[in-house]
Amino acid sequence: MGCDHNNKIEPEPEPEPFNGPYKIAHGCYMGNFFVKGQILWSEICFDTASKKYVEWPSGGIAYQKEMGCLTVGTYSIDSFRLTFTLDSFKFKMFPCSLPESGLPGEYKITKIVKSDSVIFEKGTGNGKIVYWMKRVWPKNAEE
């Protein structure tokens, strides 16, 4: 009875918005980010017990974040905000000619996938920096 007013079809409920908090699994993440129109590679290791992070060169020579821009520090997550606080530069003897590529600062987490990938960003327009990172160690997300 398609015209019967008693035969109402209820709309699907809207999915609940994500209210966080996001969590990043312990381990090292490798990936790339865009800064000032350049794509650069980086590796960030998260120690979830101490809330410390360390940046490492990601292995290749081309399109690497400069050695003098790699940092060590602490991180915190508040719902969708990921904040990196600088303790020190990893290789102080090297210059950092692209200071905008420095990691410390506040980012918005836009996505975490299956505890092994994270996307986070800060800024707007030409100053926007987006990191796409994939967990490379440990391989098993349960470790």
- Which residues neighbour 54 within 8 Å (Cβ) at sequence distance 6 or greater? 44, 45, 47, 72, 90
**Predicted local distance difference test score (pLDDT) of residue 143:** 45
Could you tell me if residue 33 is left (phi over 0), alpha (psi between -120 and 50 degrees) or otherwise beta?
beta
Q: pLDDT for 85-109, tens place per residue?
A: 999 999 999 999 889 999 999 999 9
pTM of structure: 0.81
Q: pLDDT for 133-142, tens place per residue?
A: 999 999 765 5
Residue 118 is assigned to a structural domain of this protein? yes
Q: pLDDT for 29-88, tens place per residue?
A: 999 998 888 899 999 999 999 999 999 987 777 788 999 999 999 999 998 899 999 999
CATH number of the domain residue 110 falls in? 2.40.128.540
Residue 54 is assigned to a structural domain of this protein? yes
**Predicted local distance difference test score (pLDDT) of residue 73:** 98
Residue 37 is assigned to a structural domain of this protein? yes
CA pair distance 83, 68, nearest whole angstrom: 20
CA pair distance 90, 5, nearest whole angstrom: 70
